[in-house]
Amino acid sequence: MEDFHSRFISFAIEHQVIRFGAFKTKAGRVSPYFFNAGLFSTGASLKALSGFYADAILDSKVSFDFLYGPAYKGIPLVAGIAMTLAERGRDVPFCYNRKEIKDHGEGGTLVGEPIGRALIVDDVISAGTSVRESVASLHAAGATPVGVMTALDRMERGVTERSAAQEVTFQYGFPVFSIATLDHLMNYLMRDPAYAEERKRMMEYRALYGEGISNSAD
C-alpha cells in the first residue's frame, strides 16, 4: 500500500493541480512544474485533500490547540481539515483571518477563538510572507504558533541557501511540515518512464535552485 505522500502526488497529478511545462515563478525563475491548490475546487476533491492534510498532521505528532488558516485559501482548508479530524476522533477548533478589519459585531480581523497553540495551515510557502503575516496576527491575539502545515514543499531556496520552509524554522524556531515534498514528487516520477523528460528538467532546475543546507533552527 502506498504511503499518503505518494497517494497525494498521484491525486494532485490526476486533478492537474501539479502540471508540467514551463511556468514563470514570482522570483522570475522558469519552473518545469507548477502546483495550484486552487484547482481542488469541488466538494469531493476538497474532502480528499482534507484527508491528506489530516494524515500529515497526525503523522507529524505536532501538539496544537487549534488550526489557523490565512485568508483566502487557508479558510476552506482549515474547515475541511477540522471536519476530517473530528471524523477521526479529534475535535479541534479552527480560526481564520479577514483581509479587512470588521468594525461591527464581534469586530477585529480574526474569526474563531485563537486560544493557545496554533498550527498554521496553507497550500505552499513561497517567500514566507503569508507565514510572517499569520505569526503577527496570532501573536497580536495572544496565541502561539507552533508549526506550519503545507501541501507541497518545493524545497527551493529563496534569497539565501535556505528554502522558504527552512527560513521559517530558522526565524521562528517552529517546524514546517508538508503532505509531500519535491523528493516525493521526484521519486513518484521515477517510477513511470513516461515522465523521464519531466524528471530530467526538474533535476536540472533543482541543481540551479534547490535548497543548499539542512533544515535547522540553530
In a domain, 139, yes or no: yes
- 130 backbone dihedrals φ, ψ, rounded to 5°: -60, -40
In a domain, 215, yes or no: no
pLDDT at 212 over 80: no
Concerning whether 104 is annotated as a catalytic residue, the answer is yes
CATH no. for residue 99?
3.40.50.2020
Confidence tier at 214 by pLDDT (50, 70, 90): very low
pLDDT at 12 over 50: yes
The tally of domains found in the chain comes to 1
Averaged pLDDT, 137-156 = 94
Alpha-carbon distance of 41 to 206, in angstroms, equals: 29
Domain extent for 87: 4-209
Concerning whether 61 is annotated as a catalytic residue, the answer is no
In a domain, 107, yes or no: yes
Residue pair 13/37 in contact (Cβ under 8 Å)? The answer is no
Beta bridge partners, 156, equal 210
Question: 147-151, 199-203, 206-210: lowest mean pLDDT where?
Answer: 206-210
In a domain, 150, yes or no: yes
| pLDDT at residue 100, as a whole number | 64
Contacts 24+ apart (CB under 8 A), 74-83: 74/120, 74/121, 74/122, 74/123, 76/46, 77/49, 77/50, 77/53, 77/121, 77/122, 77/123, 78/121, 80/46, 80/47, 80/49, 80/50, 80/53, 81/50, 81/53, 81/54, 81/57, 81/121, 83/50
How many other CB atoms are there within 10 angstroms of residue 18's CB atom? 22
Alpha-carbon distance of 24 to 26, in angstroms, equals: 7
Single out the catalytic residue among 24, 47, 102, 139: 102
| pLDDT at residue 218, as a whole number | 33
Residue pair 38/88 in contact (Cβ under 8 Å)? The answer is no
Single out the catalytic residue among 26, 61, 99, 104: 104
pTM, two decimals, is 0.88
In a domain, 30, yes or no: yes
Residue carrying the nine cell digits 477540522: 82
